[in-house]
Amino acid sequence: MTSRARHRLVAGAILILFVVGLGVFLAPFAFPTPPPIVTQFRATRLFSPNGDRTRERARVGIRLNTPSNVTVQVVDGDRVVRTLLDDKRRPTGWVRLAWDGGSDAGGTTPDGSYVVRLRARAGQKRWNASRRITVDRSAPGIGTLAVSEADAAGPASWECRVGVTATDKGTASITAMGGSPRPVASFGPVTLGDGRTALWSWDGRDSGGQGVAPGLYSLGATLTDSAGNRSARETTCWVGHLLGRPVPARPVAGGFVGVRLVRPDGTAVPAGAAVQLTLFRRVGTPGRGTGAVLGRRIGAQVRGPAGSVTVPLPRRLRPSALWLVASTSGGRALIALPR
């Protein structure tokens, strides 16, 4: 073969390869691939059908590019739990369905992971896909809800310190409630892991920065998980803006008791300041339970200078069965009398 013939053969081969490559490149444009019959398939990943009106249903959305026969089933392994759509003809556009966590047999499904299975057909075209979904009705656990009070802890910049420990992962919030249905203060939300504790120090001011009226406040803690399940616990705390100690430190039945008062920052209330002393039957303790702490009044109220006024104790009641409440123009101290 001559050199010129070889050159022509190589040139011809190159031309053929170019034409083939160009054809491969242009073929999709000359013969475009038809779009799929389903262009979108969505399903809720996690929901909680437990009757609390939060995330009660799983939503399923299917966008059809062409009219199709559609079947949507919730399955657990090979078992069909719920048929949401059974080979029904649907037009182009969105098909929207919902699952309430029930089964075809009429009962409720247990918590766990399920699969939403989609089958669609339009003529010779087919589309099969699935999405995983989780049913979770179990509320997250609050391990402890503990309160420390300034009256017990001594002078501090806070009136109540609250600790919430979660036994499950969730978002914790705390609200302080007084006499109205609206919270006076709130804390959170903060995300807690298993065994983690959130601490909140309340200075006895409302959400507007004003000091709340002295008295007993309810502290409610809620823990909400990603499925919308919620746990709640409640306790109480006394907000007095005033701290006090009995004088003598261990009064006796039938004797007299006075008070030594300080403000929350530790500064002493002047000995000449006007104070009113009142004894109440002790029916509860702040931070332990949710009920009232002051029972009926015992004896008469006594008024006088803070450094010298005293109130008589009944002879037939142990001092530890009483609360001594000391009130001034600046606050109200709840004082426990020791055993």
Three-state SS for the chain is: CCHHHHHHHHHHHHHHHHHHHHHHHHHHHHCCCCCCCEEEEEECCEECCCCCCCCCCEEEEEEECCCEEEEEEEEECCEEEEEEEEEEEECCEEEEEEECCECCCCCECCCEEEEEEEEEEECCEEEEEEEEEEECCCCCCEEEEEEEEHHHHCCCCCCEEEEEEECCCEEEEEEEECCCCCEEEEEEEEEECCCCEEEEEECCECCCCCECCCEEEEEEEEEECCCCCEEEEEEEEEECCCEEEEECCCCCCCCEEEEEEECCCCCECCCCCEEEEEEEEECCECCECCCCCEEEEEEEEEEEECCCCCEECCCCCCHHHEEEEEEECCEEEEEECCC
CATH code for position 267: 2.60.40
Structure tokens at 230: 């919620």
CB 324 within 8 A of CB 292: no
Torsion of CA 266, 262, 295, 233, to 10 degrees: -10
Q: In the chain, how many domains are there?
A: 3
Claim to verify: residue 146 and residue 185 sit in the same structural domain: yes
Q: What is the layout of strands, in order, in the sheet containing 197-202? A: 142-149, 160-166, 197-202
Claim to verify: residue 114 and residue 153 sit in the same structural domain: no
Express each pLDDT in 235-291 by its tens digit: 999 999 999 999 999 999 999 999 999 988 888 999 889 999 999 999 999 998 899
With a cut of 90, say whether residue 10 has pLDDT above it.
no
Q: What is the mean pLDDT of residues 57-72?
A: 97
Considering 202, 223, 239, which residue would you say is the last residue of a domain? 239
Residue at 28 is within a domain: no
Residue at 210 is within a domain: yes
Which domain does 195 fall in, by range? 142-239
Claim to verify: residue 146 and residue 120 sit in the same structural domain: no
Residue at 73 is within a domain: yes
Express each pLDDT in 121-152 by its tens digit: 999 999 999 999 999 999 999 999 999 877 66
Q: What is the mean pLDDT of residues 198-215?
A: 92
Considering 239, 264, 299, which residue would you say is the last residue of a domain? 239
**Mean of the per-residue pLDDT values for the chain?**
89
Claim to verify: residue 169 and residue 213 sit in the same structural domain: yes
Claim to verify: residue 149 and residue 208 sit in the same structural domain: yes
Considering 218, 239, 260, which residue would you say is the last residue of a domain? 239
Residue at 14 is within a domain: no
With a cut of 50, say whether residue 27 has pLDDT above it.
no
Residue 181: predicted pLDDT:
85
CATH code for position 46: 2.60.40.4070
Claim to verify: residue 235 and residue 251 sit in the same structural domain: no
Claim to verify: residue 255 and residue 315 sit in the same structural domain: yes
